[in-house]
Structure 1
Amino acid sequence: MLQKFGFTQYESQVYEAIFAQNEPLDATSIVNHSNVPKAKIYEVLNRLIDKGAVLTTMNGKKKLYLAVDLQSIILKIRADFEKDIEELKSYKIKRTYSDEHIWTLKDETSIASNIEQLIEEADSSILLLAWSEQMEKYRPILEQKEQQGVYVEVLAVGGLETSLSRRYSLIPMLEGNHLEPSQLLIVDHAYLLFAGIENEAWKAIKTTSKPIVKALTDYFYHDIALTQITKKYGDQLLQDEEISKLLARLIY
């Protein structure tokens, strides 16, 4: 039975042989009761001691062995398993190869899941542009990542209430300009996801291609610069017909 929980066949036989007796056994007796080869018995016993399944003591010059109660072993197996699960949750595997492919994604839920995963795995930086409705979904995890020391910078179209230190809010100023929602995420200057509406459905691309990541990083800061300029000089800019037409051609 113990073999299902990481014990070898010999370990299981030795444990059951000791446990079945009403008194401690020496190595010779354990060999007789367990059918484990004498040449292997001390190796097996030492492993069981290391696993906390067998206790040992000296009786004169003879070493005796006693099996730990099965319930105690069950509790230890459960505790070790839960500890391993927690360690696995925090374990990260980073790709070391360069993938120049551009991968496509469909379905709003799938895109949102990919964005959340990329944010969660960020080590150093997160740049995110999104409309306020989408941005609000990611706000808690963004705030958590900033508290963990990750550099977070966001541009929310429509505004956002958040504790983030580096946040920009764009309130569209041009009447009649029908804005199409989009989302741009750049993580660790290496991973990129860009999503938009096409035929009334969300579609996205995902890549680690360096030229594309670099180009859309520039695009992100272009939008922040434009946001700050229009915020400060918007009234003046809109009075200029030529500039007003140029602004109308942008996503704003």
Structure 2
Amino acid sequence: MKENILDTLKNLNFTEYEAKAYLTLLEASPLTGYAVAKNSGVPRSKIYEVLDSLTIRGDILVSPGNTPQYTPVPAKELIKNRRMKADEHFEQAEILLEKFEHSANDRENIWNITGRSEILDKVKACIISAKNRILLEIWKEDFKELEPELKQAAIRGVSVTIIAYGEIISDFANVYLHDMSDEITEEYGGRWLVISGDDSEVVAGIVSLGKDSRAAWTMHVGLVMPITEVMIHDLYLMEIMKKHREILEESFGKNLINLRHKFAIHPDYKKHYVK
């Protein structure tokens, strides 16, 4: 139990000696420096340096005199002070880093992202920043990890439209079920994810390769526009298929498979993007 408390104090930026001294004073105080060293196990040669550090930081109080005595700031007060200080640091960082925001929102760069979790983190950031519309092309296997952020976006009034590979059920989004999700996964050798936020940024890439998953994020209009429009044209086609499936499949085969074969460049009709 005591080791857990010491570890917790270390997480609050106490050194090991500081944590032992503070915890000793919580157990019994006031104490002289000699008594703190004796009860805590902190070397006597180090104890006054440790107590001075805690005093300067405001974690303990000292009563001056011929033999100074020390008492701790109560634990609740210590945690409150730490929380206030952390909030101050975050606020200061937000202000100071704001001037560099333009580099993060550079519309001329394309940024590589490697790793499935890293890609999904960037997609979540895109969802959180969206104000008007989200277009998302995603497999059912990946949807659950983004569902909370998507739902919150919809609650904010953002229009969420999903092109779903596999059955995705949602009460907050417009969901269009893409045909042949299993066959397409096999054809491409993996699952991809594409998101367009407010027609101003996109994340697109392969997310089924674990740490080897690869994607790109950009606000470059030269990519945002065509990627967004490709997604919109997918929606056009899905609306057309809903109305005229029988006629179109008579001409182009079930799920328009003849068109897929017509524009394939490999004899096995697979895409071979993932090597």
Q: Is this a same-fold pair by TM over 0.5?
A: yes
Q: Judging changes above 3 Å, is the alpha-carbon distance between structure 1 residues 170 and 70 closer, same or farther for their aligned structure 2 residues?
A: same
State, as a whole percentage, how many aligned pairs show the same letter.
19
The whole-number CA distance in structure 2 between the counterparts of 1:234 and 1:159 is: 19
The whole-number CA distance in structure 1 between the counterparts of 2:186 and 2:73 is: 69
The whole-number CA distance in structure 1 between the counterparts of 2:184 and 2:116 is: 26
Cα offset, 1:2, TM superposition: 5.2
Secondary structure at 2:57's aligned position in 1?
helix
1:184 aligns with 2:194: yes
Secondary structure at 1:192's aligned position in 2?
strand
Instruction: Write 1 or 2 for the structure with the bigger share of helix.
Output: 2
Among 183, 208, 221, the residue aligned to 2:219? 208
- Name the structure 2 match of 1:95: 101
Instruction: Write 1 or 2 for the structure with the bigger share of strand.
Output: 1
Among 144, 149, 157, the residue aligned to 2:165? 157
Cα offset, 1:83, TM superposition: 5.8
Cα offset, 1:73, TM superposition: 5.3
- Indicate conservation of the 8 Å contact 1:159/1:171, yes or no: no
Q: Judging changes above 3 Å, is the alpha-carbon distance between structure 1 residues 173 and 188 closer, same or farther for their aligned structure 2 residues?
A: closer
Q: Judging changes above 3 Å, is the alpha-carbon distance between structure 1 residues 196 and 20 closer, same or farther for their aligned structure 2 residues?
A: same
- Indicate conservation of the 8 Å contact 1:195/1:204, yes or no: yes
- Name the structure 2 match of 1:111: 119
Among 105, 126, 129, the residue aligned to 1:121? 129
The whole-number CA distance in structure 2 between the counterparts of 1:167 and 1:218 is: 17
Give the root-mean-square deviation of aligned CA atoms: 4.2
The whole-number CA distance in structure 1 between the counterparts of 2:116 and 2:239 is: 30
Specify the code of the residue in structure 1 equivalent to 2:196. I
The whole-number CA distance in structure 2 between the counterparts of 1:195 and 1:117 is: 16
Secondary structure at 1:240's aligned position in 2?
helix
Q: Judging changes above 3 Å, is the alpha-carbon distance between structure 1 residues 78 and 103 closer, same or farther for their aligned structure 2 residues?
A: closer
Instruction: Output the TM-score relative to the length of structure 2.
Output: 0.55
The whole-number CA distance in structure 2 between the counterparts of 1:227 and 1:4 is: 64
Among 60, 74, 78, the residue aligned to 1:74? 78
Gaps of 5+ in 2: 1-53, 66-71, 265-269, 271-275
Cα offset, 1:84, TM superposition: 5.3
1:13-52 paired onto structure 2 within 5 Å = none
Cα offset, 1:199, TM superposition: 9.2
Q: How many residues align?
A: 195
1:4 aligns with 2:91: no
- Indicate conservation of the 8 Å contact 2:138/2:192, yes or no: yes
Secondary structure at 2:167's aligned position in 1?
coil
Among 202, 205, 210, the residue aligned to 1:195? 205
- Name the structure 1 match of 2:154: 146
- Name the structure 2 match of 1:36: none
Instruction: Output the TM-score relative to the length of structure 1.
Output: 0.60
